Structure 1
Amino acid sequence: MDLNCKYILCSMIIGETKTLNYRNLDKINFLGYDLELFQAIKYSIQNKGYVDQEVIVAKVPHLEKYLFDVLDVSVGGENLQEFIDSVYNKQLKIRLKTLMNKKIGSNVESEILDITKELQQMIKETCDSEDYNKKGVELFKEILDELDSEIEETDVFETGYSDLDELINLSPGDLWLIAARASMGKSVFMMNLAKNFAKKNKKVKVLSLEMTSVSLQKRVVSCISGVNLNKLVNKRNMKFLTSEDKDNICKVNTIADYVLANIDYFDKAGATIDEVETQIKLASEQGCEVVFIDYAQFISSSKQYQSETLRIADIVKRIKVCGRDNNILVVMLAQVNRGVEGRADRRPMMSDLDGSSELEKTSDIISFIYRDDYYNDDSQYKGLMEIITRKQRNGGLGTVFLRFFGDIQRITNYSSKVD
C-alpha cells in the first residue's frame, strides 16, 4: 500500500470533498484497493455531490475494513492540492528512474538515444502542454542528475549479513531461490532480509501466499523490538506483555514505521502465476527493487501439467523471465521434498528440489536453509542457521552460519549477540 495515496484518500473522505477538480489528481497512480476506493469516491461525488462514507461502503462493501484502515492515517495540515502535486511529482520520478534503470541495466549503448526520446514522450504525456518546455526539461535534468549520483548505490544489494554478502552477488533481474523443509525458518529469513533491505532505503514488495500481511508485519515488529512473537500474535498472551516489552515497542516505533513504510504487501492464498507476474510488474512501476515470494508451491495455475515437478519448473521459469524483463531482484522461497528426512545428514541438496534440473538452469542463485538443532537436541550447532548456497551463476558456493532467535523472529550475523 502507498501511504501517500492513502493520505490523499483519507483527506478527501474526512473533508467530504465536493469536487474532483484538483490538478493532477487524475494522474495519481492509485493501485489495488486504493484504486477501487478512489473510484468509489468519484462515484459518490458524481452522484451525491460530495464524498459520503455510506455511499462508498455501499459501492465497495468488501473494502469496509480497508476503509477504516485508510481513515486511521494521520492527516496533518498540508494543503491537499499541494500534497497531490507532491505525490504526482514523486510518482513521475519513480516511473522515469525505473525506465532509466531498466534500459541502462541492459548495457546496450545503442538504446541511449531511444531512452531519451521515451522519457521526453512520457514527460509530454504527464505534463500540461504549457508546462512542458520549463517543467519537462527541468524534471528530465533532475532525474538524470539523481541517476548519476545514485547509479552505483542502486545496484548494490546488501543482505545485512556480512559473511553472506561476501559470498553471494545479487543484481537486478536475478532470481534467488531459497529452499528448505518446513519449520526451518524460511519466512523468518525472508522478513529479516526484507527488513534489512528496507533499512537501506530500498523499496520491497512481499507476495505472501501463506500468511497475511498483518502476521508478517508483527514478525518485523517482534524482530526490531525483541518482544516475543507469541505476545504479539496471540491476544490471550498480550496480557503477559511486561512494562519493559511495552517500552521496547515504543522505543522502536519510529524505526518500525520507517521500515514498514518501505515494505509493501500482497497477500492472497492461491494466487495464480498470472497474478504474481502482474504484482512483479506493478512493483517495478512503483519503484520497488526487490520482490519476495512466499512460496513457489502455493502459486496456482490454470494450465494442466503432467506432474507437480513440471508445474513448479514452469512457474519458476515464468517468474525468472518476468523479474528479468522488469529489472527487479526476485527472492522466492520453496519447499524441498521429503527425501531429506530419510538421510543421516538432512542438509538439502539440489536433487531435493522438485524439478531440480530445470530450477538449476533457471535460478541465478540457489540457497538452502538448515538448522541442525531442529533435528538434534544435543546439536553442536545450537541456535545456528546455515545458509547453504549450492548454485550461483556469478559467484562461489559455500555455507554461511547465522544466529537464529525464533522467539523474537530475529536472525543476526554469526558474530553478533542478541540484545
Structure 2
Amino acid sequence: MTQQPISHTPVVSPHNLAAEAAVIGAILFDNNVYQYIAEILRPADFYAPAHHLLYEVASTLIQTGRVADGVTLREHFEQKEKLTEIGGAKYLVDLLDAAAFGPEVKDYARIIRDLAIRRELIRVGAGIQSQSLTPEDDDNGSTLINKAERALFELAERGSSERGFSTFAEALAESLVTAEAAFKRGGKIAGIPTALRDLDEQLGGFHRSDLLILAGRPSMGKTSLATNIAYNVAAAYKYETQEDGSRKTIDGGIVAFFSLEMSSEQLATRILAERTEISSHDIRQGKLTKADFERLSEATAELQNLPLYIDDTGGISIGELTARARRLRRSEGLDLIVIDYLQLITTNSSNANTNRVQEVTQITTALKALAKDLNVPVMALSQLSRAVEQRDDKRPQLSDLRESGSIEQDADIVMFVFREEYYLSRTEPPGDAGDPNANEKFIKWRERMNQVQGTAEVIVSKQRHGPIGTVKLAFDARVTRFGNLAYDAAKADPFE
C-alpha cells in the first residue's frame, strides 16, 4: 500500500488588518485619538509591517508635539525613502477612508492587542519547544520549566489591564479605601490582621506589597511565630464572589508557606499541636491517650480545608519560588507569602565570583519585587549572626542580621523575636554555701524569671509606615504558640 504524503497546511498568525487600518486612520484623522489608545497598543502589536511603521512614526510625532497626518507622514517616509514600504501615498488616503470614529476605536485597539498576545503565545510555545529539543548547556528540565513559566506570566501580565500612571485623585481614593478598611475593623488595622492584637496595633496589620523580615537566633521561636501568623490569617479567610465569578478576599487570606527547613508534615504537626494543646513531641512519639487522639482527629477535620499551601522544597531558587507563587495566585488566589527562611533560598547565578552577600542582595530585591508585583505582603524569616551571643544584652539589633545591608535596605519592616526566658533559664545562680550573696542572687534571678516566664518580645526595629517599638506576647513553649499577653480579665485564655 502506497503511503499518502502528509499535507501541511500553513498556519496563519492571528490578525485583523481591518481593525489595524481603522485605528491608524482614526489617529491620522484626529491626533487626540492617540491619547486614548496609547496605553493599550504598542507598535509591535500591529501585524502588518506597514501598520507597525506608521503607528511608530505617528506616535513619535504626536509625543513631540507635532502633527501626524497624511501630509507629515508622507513627507517623513519620502525623506527616509521608505514610502513604498507603507504602500505609497495612496495607502495613506485609503487609511483615512477606513478610519473608525467614536468609542469603537478603543474596542478595535483591544482586538489588535488581543491578537498580538495570541501571536506572542504562539511564539513562546515555539520557543519552549525549541529550547526543550536543543537546550543550552546549563538548562535542565526544571530550569526550562521556570523559563516557560516566567515567559507565560509576563505574557499574562501583558494581557491584563495596564496600570501606568495614576492621577493623584485615584491615589487618594485608594488611600481612602485603606482607611475605610481600618475603620471597619475598629481602627488601627488597615492591613491583613495577624490576630496578635498588640502586634497588629503596632504594625496596622500586614500591608500589601510590603517585604517583612522576621529574624531571631535559634530557639527564639521565629518559625513558631510565622506558623502562628500563617494559621491565623488562613483561619480567618472570608471572601465574596464578584460578578465575573472571581473571589475577593474580605478578611484573612490565602497563604503560601515556603518551608525550606521543615517538611510539610512537621509544619502540620506544629499547627495541630497549637490547636489541640498537645505537644508536638508527644504527637511524634505517639504518647497519646484516646481522648488526645480524638482531639487530633477533630482538629484535622476542621483544618483540612484551610487555605494554607505549603511548599517544602529544600534549597529552592528565587526564580522557582517566584514562579510557584505566581502560579498559586493565578490558580487559587494569594494574600500572604511566608518564607522560612531567607538564607536557604538559592540563586541561579553561574558566576563563581558572586559571594553570598551579593546573592542575598539578589534575593531580597527579588522578594520586594514579588511583593509589589503580586500586591501581597511577603514575610521572610532570617537568621542572625552570633554577635548577639557575645553581648550581655541579648536583644538583637539591625546590625545582627546576616548580610544585613541588603536585608535592612529592601525590607519595609524588620522584626526580631526575643525570649529573655530562654537565656535567663541558663544563668541560674549556683547554690554556693560559701557565698553569702548566693541566696540574694538566686532571689533576684527567680523574681526576674517570674516576670518573663511565658512571654516573648517582638522588637520592631524598622517600619517605613509607622513607629518602631517592642511588642510583648504570651508564649507557650510546650506547644510553641504565641498569643496576646495583655488580654481582658474576663477572657482567661490569651491564646484564643
Cα offset, 1:290, TM superposition: 0.2
- SS where residue 407 of structure 1 aligns? coil
Mapped to 2, the partners of 1:182 and 1:308 lie a distance apart of 21
Q: Which amino acid aligns with 1:168?
A: L
Q: 2:291 aligns with which of 221, 244, 247?
A: 244
- SS where residue 408 of structure 1 aligns? coil
Q: 1:394 aligns with which of 462, 465, 470?
A: 465
Q: Which amino acid aligns with 1:185?
A: G
1:354 aligned to 2:354?
no
Q: Is the 8 A contact 1:280 1:323 kept in 2?
A: no
- SS where residue 332 of structure 1 aligns? strand
Q: Relative to structure 1, is the Cα distance of residues 405 and 337 closer, same or farther in structure 2, using a 3 angstrom cutoff?
A: same
- SS where residue 411 of structure 1 aligns? strand
Mapped to 2, the partners of 1:278 and 1:418 lie a distance apart of 35
Which residue of structure 2 aligns with residue 55 of structure 1?
Answer: none
Which residue of structure 2 aligns with residue 167 of structure 1?
Answer: 202
Cα offset, 1:111, TM superposition: 13
> Of the two structures, which has the highest relative contact order with CA contacts closer than 8 Å and spacing of 6 or more?
1
Mapped to 1, the partners of 2:359 and 2:453 lie a distance apart of 36
- SS where residue 252 of structure 1 aligns? helix
Mapped to 1, the partners of 2:375 and 2:169 lie a distance apart of 16
Cα offset, 1:404, TM superposition: 1.3
* Runs of 4 or more consecutive aligned structure 1 residues displaced over 4 Å after TM superposition: 109-112, 152-155
Q: 1:271 aligns with which of 316, 320, 323?
A: 316
Mapped to 1, the partners of 2:200 and 2:165 lie a distance apart of 24
Mapped to 1, the partners of 2:214 and 2:268 lie a distance apart of 21
Q: Is the 8 A contact 1:284 1:327 kept in 2?
A: no
Which residue of structure 1 aligns with residue 372 of structure 2?
Answer: 324
- SS where residue 478 of structure 2 aligns? helix
Cα offset, 1:247, TM superposition: 3.4
Mapped to 1, the partners of 2:169 and 2:266 lie a distance apart of 44
Q: Which amino acid aligns with 1:393?
A: R
- SS where residue 221 of structure 1 aligns? helix
Q: 1:383 aligns with which of 454, 462, 477?
A: 454
Q: Relative to structure 1, is the Cα distance of residues 109 and 306 closer, same or farther in structure 2, using a 3 angstrom cutoff?
A: same
- SS where residue 475 of structure 2 aligns? strand
1:296 aligned to 2:342?
yes
Which residue of structure 1 aligns with residue 479 of structure 2?
Answer: 408
Mapped to 2, the partners of 1:275 and 1:363 lie a distance apart of 21
Q: Is the 8 A contact 2:360 2:406 kept in 1?
A: no
Mapped to 2, the partners of 1:288 and 1:265 lie a distance apart of 13
Cα offset, 1:306, TM superposition: 4.4
Q: Is the 8 A contact 1:171 1:329 kept in 2?
A: yes
- SS where residue 375 of structure 1 aligns? helix
Alignment map for 1:59-98 (pairs within 5 Å): none
Mapped to 1, the partners of 2:373 and 2:299 lie a distance apart of 37
Mapped to 1, the partners of 2:282 and 2:166 lie a distance apart of 53
Q: Which amino acid aligns with 1:213?
A: S
Which residue of structure 1 aligns with residue 266 of structure 2?
Answer: 215
Mapped to 2, the partners of 1:417 and 1:242 lie a distance apart of 26
Cα offset, 1:343, TM superposition: 0.2
Mapped to 2, the partners of 1:221 and 1:395 lie a distance apart of 34
Q: Which has the larger radius of gyration?
A: 2
1:108 aligned to 2:153?
no
Alignment map for 1:40-189 (pairs within 5 Å): 108=166, 156-169=191-204, 170-189=206-225
Structure with higher helix content: 1
Q: Which amino acid aligns with 1:252?
A: A
Segments of 5+ residues of structure 2 without an aligned counterpart are 1-155, 171-179, 238-252, 426-444, 487-492
Q: Is the 8 A contact 2:214 2:382 kept in 1?
A: yes
1:206 aligned to 2:257?
yes
Mapped to 2, the partners of 1:262 and 1:111 lie a distance apart of 35
Q: Which amino acid aligns with 1:359?
A: I
Mapped to 2, the partners of 1:409 and 1:248 lie a distance apart of 18
Which residue of structure 2 aligns with residue 284 of structure 1?
Answer: 329
Q: Which amino acid aligns with 1:219?
A: R
- 1:220-274 CA distance string (max 9 Å, x none): 11111111101222xxx21x2023312322443443224xx31011111111111
What is the TM-score with the length of structure 2 in the denominator? 0.52
Q: Relative to structure 1, is the Cα distance of residues 109 and 200 closer, same or farther in structure 2, using a 3 angstrom cutoff?
A: farther
Mapped to 2, the partners of 1:174 and 1:288 lie a distance apart of 14
Mapped to 1, the partners of 2:233 and 2:494 lie a distance apart of 20
* Identity within the alignment, %: 28
Mapped to 2, the partners of 1:253 and 1:275 lie a distance apart of 30
